[in-house]
Chains A and B, each alone.
Chain A
Amino acid sequence: MGLIPEHVRAQLKARFDLRLSGPVHLTLYTRPGSSRLILPAGVGCATCEDARQMAELLRDAAPEKVTLDVVDTSRDPDRARADRVDDVPTIAVGANTEAGRIRFQGLPTGTEFPALIDAVERVSRTEHDLSAASLVELGKLTEPAEVMVFATPT
């Protein structure tokens, strides 16, 4: 497997050994595809295999705490719809087996990879580190809100 070097795996395992406390559940929404083929829009998934490797990297770094569920949206579109997943690959991070509310759509490389690691660690420790004032403000939300953040690898 070429995407993730062995020394990165070792670093991540050491880091998770120190920083994870509670369970983390990842859900990878994917679709069959190939990174070696150029496919028409809407057909296949050019980055799904790499996303799978990344999700498996996280699971394998702490298999006693991190679980991974893979959903093929081409076979189970109802699940994707119910979980409000619009596109693939998407990795959802949560504390239990329900689809997490922290999600990464697309291959989380560059600045997004540390954010993914941070999300796993924070979910594991239930550690949001927001101020008391922010929590009071967020308590005013009475309906679900979606916060989309567009980022790039550089």
Chain B
Amino acid sequence: MSLANRMALASPQIRALCIEANEFPRLSAEFGVRGVPHTVVNRGGAFVGALPERVFVAAVLEGAGIPVEESAAPSGPSTELSG
């Protein structure tokens, strides 16, 4: 979650919202949270796991509808793109 916060600090376009999943079970269910950290961009695309900065930034851009280079797109066993 620190990475999302750092991005919000760096870009005036980003709002980072860290949610205590157990305290908001309905919201967690709505976004299909089964593991943490579970990141959701613009209440659409989601991924699970802690990603390296470059991949996290690419995932956020992708979730916001900005095309990203193939090499930066999220991949690997710890991620799960959906939405």
Contact = CB atoms under 8 A, between A and B. Distances in A.
A137 interface: yes
B1 A103 contact: no
Interface residue SS majority, chain B = mixed
A103 B8 CA distance: 10
Interface residues of A, number: 46
A137 B20 contact: no
Interface in A45-66: 47
Given A105-B24, A143-B64, A145-B41, A137 B57 contact: yes
A147 B11 contact: no
A108 B18 contact: yes
B76 to A, nearest CB: 18
Contact of A106 (B2, B19, B39): B19
Interface in A71-113: 84, 87, 93, 101-109, 111-112
Given A47-B23, A103-B17, A151-B20, A134 B5 contact: no
A63 to B, nearest CB: 23
B40 A148 contact: yes
Interface residues of B, number: 46
Interface string B1-26: 11011111111111111111111100
A2 interface: no
B1 A149 contact: yes
Contact of A149 (B4, B12, B43, B61): B4
B42 interface: yes
Contact of A101 (B8, B63, B64, B72): B8
Interface of B: 1-2, 4-24, 27-28, 31, 33, 36-43, 53-54, 57-58, 60-61, 63-64, 66, 68, 72
24 contacts: A101-B14, A101-B16, A102-B8, A104-B17, A105-B24, A106-B24, A112-B20, A115-B1, A118-B2, A128-B7, A141-B14, A141-B66, A142-B13, A145-B14, A145-B15, A146-B14, A147-B41, A147-B60, A148-B40, A149-B16, A150-B28, A150-B38, A152-B20, A153-B22
